[in-house]
Structure 1
Amino acid sequence: MRPLTEEETRTFFEKLSKYIGENIKLLLDRPDGTYCFRLHRDRVFYVREDIMKKAGNVSRENLLSLGTCYGKFTKTGKFRLHITALDYLAPYAKYKIWLKPSAEQQFLYGHHVMKSGLGRITENTNKYQGIVVYSMGDLPLGFGVAARSTQDCRHADPMTIVAFHQADIGEYIRSEDTLV
């Protein structure tokens, strides 16, 4: 477990800022303690500093996980967010979409969001902007990337993709067999 390098930090914060913008500061300085991001086996973990210091007594080989996994770095150096970060990203999300009840199941199966399943969308959402996907009951379901801007969505065909799927809470069940 080590701090992120300058390049890793830049890549990681660029990805986070696509979803929560300047609210990254709120993740680090919280009223319940100071938190930090640490890298372990290509995965970025979000952990309270006092717990991180205590975990320093455990050898790298024996340490499996610490805190909440936000995602992992690929072999090419890109960062991919995991669904475990959803609970921390959702309250600070700048851009959101809400799905109709008929489209929730399709999204949870890993499909993109069609215009026919779109309930609402945050105003001024740009194309290729990171978004958090909610049910109409304000339950965060996952996150993705806007395929169309808010203005384009108003005039789009019902079968047009308006958001690309990135991750959803159904991944826990779909990847149940592959988890160690």
Structure 2
Amino acid sequence: MRPLTDEETKTMFEKLSKYEKMLKMATNISRDKLVSVGTCFGKFTKTQKFRLHITALDFLAPYAKYKVWVKPGAEQSYLYGNHIMKSGLGRITENTAQYQGVVVYSMADVPLGFGVAAKNTQECRKVDPMSIVVFHQADVGEYIRCEDTLT
């Protein structure tokens, strides 16, 4: 990556300052009336647990330590909100622990969503094909299924 020229730096900070101003203006709106500012990563439930939304996928996927790849035949099932079975598992990152958060990818390395590993890597190799290996949490199909609740 090259360093920015003075003109490019000035332009970049002018653009950022517009968003800083918008953020400051948003603080004048009461929390119950404000939907979001920027990208919504998730929401807190009534029991104060944080639920990630699929809108956070683009930010989480490049930094994911634990990944799962789904076979092409199982992609559609996952995108409809179903868990991933052993028969649909393409690959899994080595040393993935049970109940570890994972990012789910297609075999073409396209991020599809995220979930929780139901089994560790070693157990995934031994279980029968109809066993659940990843619990579904969120997938890109939610953009269509739940578009009214993602804001």
TM-score (norm 2): 0.81
1:103 equivalenced with 2:71 (yes/no): no
Cα deviation for residue 178 of structure 1 reads: 5.9
Q: 1:86 is matched by which residue type in structure 2?
A: L
- Taking the TM superposition and a 5 Å limit, the aligned residue runs for 1:125-164 are 125-164=96-135
1:88 is paired with a residue whose SS is helix
Cα deviation for residue 176 of structure 1 reads: 3.8
1:90 is paired with a residue whose SS is helix
Cα deviation for residue 163 of structure 1 reads: 0.3
Q: Distance in 2 between matches of 1:49 and 1:149?
A: 46
Which entry has the higher C-alpha Rg, 1 or 2?
A: 2
TM-score (norm 1): 0.69
Q: Distance in 2 between matches of 1:177 and 1:72?
A: 14
Structure 1 spans left out of the alignment, 5+ residues: 1-31, 34-47
Contact preservation (8 Å) 2:115, 2:137: yes
C-alpha RMSD over aligned residues: 2.2
Q: Would the alpha carbon gap of residues 98 and 152 (structure 1) be closer, same or farther in structure 2, given more than 3 Å must change?
A: same
Listed one character per residue, the Cα deviations across residues 38-77 of structure 1 (whole Å, up to 9, x for unaligned) are xxxxxxxxxx787244321243146432111000111111
Where relative contact order (Cα < 8 A, 6+ residues apart) is larger, the structure is 2
Listed one character per residue, the Cα deviations across residues 118-163 of structure 1 (whole Å, up to 9, x for unaligned) are 0000000000000000000000000000000000000010000000
Q: 1:162 is matched by which residue type in structure 2?
A: V
2:29 to 57, 60, 81: 60
1:57 is paired with a residue whose SS is helix
1:51 to 11, 19, 34: 19
Structure 2 spans left out of the alignment, 5+ residues: 1-11
How many positions carry a matched residue from both structures? 135
Q: Would the alpha carbon gap of residues 178 and 54 (structure 1) be closer, same or farther in structure 2, given more than 3 Å must change?
A: closer
1:87 is paired with a residue whose SS is helix
Q: Would the alpha carbon gap of residues 176 and 51 (structure 1) be closer, same or farther in structure 2, given more than 3 Å must change?
A: closer
Q: Distance in 2 between matches of 1:84 and 1:51?
A: 19
Aligned-residue sequence identity (percent) comes to 68
Match of 1:76 in 2: 47
Match of 1:11 in 2: none
2:92 to 114, 121, 141: 121
Contact preservation (8 Å) 2:53, 2:150: no
